[in-house]
Amino acid sequence: MRSFVALVRKQVLESRWTLLISFAALFGLGWLYVFVTSLNEAEIFKALSSEEGDRRFRWMQSMGVMERPSTASIIAAFWNSPLIEVMVIIWAIGRGSGAVGAEVERGTLDLILSRPVSRSTYLASQVLVAVVGLAVLAVGLPLGAIIGSQYNFLREPPTFLTLLRPAVNLAALGLPIFGYTLLVSALDHVRWRATTIGSVVTLAMFIARVVSVIPVLQKYRWRDWLDRITIFKLYNPVDAVGAGAELGYNLAVLSGTAAVFIALAFVGFARRDLPASG
């Protein structure tokens, strides 16, 4: 147990600045989107207050085509921003590629694994730090939003728990990315390859998601196929903050996919050779 704690402590020490900066960025973004939502709501209110706006709103309401979205939904819609996803992706790829490949590359894995530490204990400590890190990062977003809402007027200020649901979805998005990068790292002896493969796969899935939602491409059959191969489809903060109809499924698929890759990484790492560095 002491060795596991020592490994966790070392990894936290090594990744603390990345974690802190990413957390601060997400906290800031959470706050920023509350500020933007507050401005939006003020604009809408102003428009509705005018005679023309009021007439238009009443007409639309009578036609049943407009339901005012909740403040939480508007905030969550901003959370679809690639800026937010990038923070999680950087952490996931960084921790995954650094887990084994980087230690082999710099020759420090010998120091650890020549001690009575099992390979599974070593990898478990890496997984723990990465997963807890994802959770910490994701919490930064609702925390920023809640604190931001204390300083900005919102029509219906959301609760922390309401915003925590899309945050959990965001953390879960990072899990499979960490998983497949970890698998490559666990089998390799350099960091760059795991980083490259992890980045390319993630970027490809991101592009697939972007292409799949372009309206003019809806009629093509391959669009469905693109939609199925991307994990980004499973990150839906607006749904998570609202009815949450997809949240359970999204979390299950993201976590399940990550579990498969992480399990494969454990098997591969336990069976591989660890040649001398250099």
Partner 1 sequence: MVDGNLTDSTALIRTDGLTKSYGKFLALRQLSLEVQQGEIFGLLGPNGSGKTTTIRLLLGLLRPTAGRAWVVGFDCWTQSLQVRRLVSFLPGELRMYGYMSGMEFLRFLCDLREGDGLDRAVAIAERIMKLNLRRKIRMYSTGMKQKLALALAFSDPVDILILDEPTSALDPSARGEVLRLVREARAEGQTVIFSGHVLSEVEAVSDRVAILRKGKLMHVEDMHQRRSLRMLLLRFAGEPPARFPEELELSVRERRGEAWLLEHRGELGSLLRWLTTIAVEDLAIGTEDLHSLYEKFHGPDVVDEEDLD
Residue ranges binding partner 1 (CB under 8 A): 2-3, 5-7, 10, 13-14, 106-108, 110-118, 271-278
DSSP 157: P
**DSSP type of residue 189:** S
Place of tokens 């990062």: 137
DSSP letter string over 2-60? Answer: HHHHHHHHHHHHHHHHHHHHHHHHHHHHHHHHHHHHHHHHHHHHHHHHSHHHHHHHHHH
The distance of closest approach from Cβ of residue 151 to partner 1 in the complex, given in angstroms and rounded to an integer, is 38
Nearer to partner 1, 7 or 72 (CB): 7
Min dist. Cβ of residue 12 to partner 1 (A): 13
Which residue is it, tokens 């809806």? 218
Closer to partner 1 at the Cβ: 34 or 123? Answer: 123
Least distance from C-beta 132 to partner 1, angstroms? Answer: 20
Work out how close the CB of 21 gets to partner 1 at its nearest, in angstroms, rounded to a whole number: 17
State the distance between the two ends of the chain, measured CA to CA, in whole angstroms: 32
Q: Which is nearer to partner 1, 85 or 103 (CB)?
A: 103
What are the structure tokens assigned to 55, written together?
Answer: 């007439």
C-beta of 68 vs 272, nearer to partner 1: 272
Q: How many CB atoms lie within 10 A of CB 39?
A: 12
Which CB atom, from 215 or from 275, has the smaller least distance to partner 1? 275
Least Cβ distance, residue 107 to partner 1 (angstroms): 3
